[in-house]
A = this chain, B = another copy of it.
Amino acid sequence: STEDLDLASVYVSDAQYNRNICVDTSPRAVKLYLLYNHWFLKVLLYFFILLDLSLAVFEEPAVLPVPSWATMLVELLCLLVFTARLAHYAKVIPRDKFWKDAKNICIIVVLMLTLVDMIIYGALRAADCSALRWSRVLRPLLLVNVTEGRQLRRAFRSIRNALPQIFYVFLLFMFSVLIFSLMALKLLGKRGLKTIDGSPYFTNYLEIVFDLYVLVTTANSPDIMMPAYNSSFVFAIFFIVYILINTYIFMSVFLAVVYNNYKKHLKEEMRQLVRAKRHKMVRAFGVLQEPRGEGLEPGVTQANWNQVVRLVRPDMSNAHRELLWSVSDNKNQGFIGKVAFVQLADLLNIEVITLKSRPHPLYRLCPTLYLSGPSRLLCRLVQHRAFVILFDLIILVNAVFIGLDEDNPMIANSEWVFLALYLLEILLKLYVFEPRAFFSRHNFWNWFDTIIVVSALIATVINSAMKSSGGYTSRQILDIVFVLRVLRLIRVVDSIQRFRTIINTMIRIGPAILTFGQLILVVYYVFAMVGMELFKDKVKFSEDPDDPEKLFCGNPRLRGTAFAHLNYCKNNFNNVVSSFILLVELTVVNHGFAIVTHASARIFFVLFHILVVIVIINIFVAFVLEAFFVEY
Cα-based distance from A376 to B182 in the complex (angstroms): 40
Residue contact B172 to A486, C-beta cutoff 8 Å: no
A179 on the B face (CB < 8 A)? yes
Residue contact B625 to A259, C-beta cutoff 8 Å: yes
A169 on the B face (CB < 8 A)? yes
Q: Which of B226, B260, B509, B632 contacts A567 (CB 8 A)?
A: B226
A50 on the B face (CB < 8 A)? no
A183 on the B face (CB < 8 A)? yes
Cβ of A238 to closest chain B Cβ, rounded Å: 9
Residues of A bordering B, CB below 8 Å = 168-169, 171-172, 175, 179, 182-183, 185-187, 196, 205, 218, 221-223, 225-226, 229-230, 233, 236, 240, 243, 247-249, 252-253, 255-257, 259-260, 399, 402-403, 479, 482-483, 485-486, 489-490, 493, 498-499, 502-503, 506, 509, 541, 565-568, 570-571, 577-578, 581, 584-585, 588-589, 591, 617, 620-621, 624-625, 628-629, 632
Cβ of A608 to closest chain B Cβ, rounded Å: 15
Cα-based distance from A485 to B185 in the complex (angstroms): 13
**Chain B residues with CB below 8 A from A498, complex form:** 168
Beyond the given A221-B585, A233-B581, A249-B509, could you list 19 further A-B residue pairs with CB under 8 A, ordered by the A residue number? A168-B499, A171-B499, A175-B493, A179-B486, A179-B489, A179-B490, A182-B489, A186-B483, A218-B589, A222-B591, A233-B577, A233-B578, A240-B584, A248-B620, A252-B621, A252-B624, A256-B629, A257-B628, A260-B629
Residue contact A196 to B566, C-beta cutoff 8 Å: yes
Cα-based distance from A169 to B506 in the complex (angstroms): 12
Cβ of A201 to closest chain B Cβ, rounded Å: 12
Cβ of A235 to closest chain B Cβ, rounded Å: 10
Residue contact B567 to A502, C-beta cutoff 8 Å: no
**Chain B residues with CB below 8 A from A506, complex form:** 249, 253
A-B contact pairs, 25 of them (CB 8 A): A168-B498, A168-B499, A171-B499, A172-B493, A175-B493, A182-B403, A182-B489, A186-B482, A186-B483, A186-B485, A186-B486, A187-B479, A205-B403, A218-B218, A222-B571, A229-B570, A230-B541, A230-B570, A233-B570, A233-B577, A236-B581, A252-B621, A253-B628, A257-B632, A260-B632
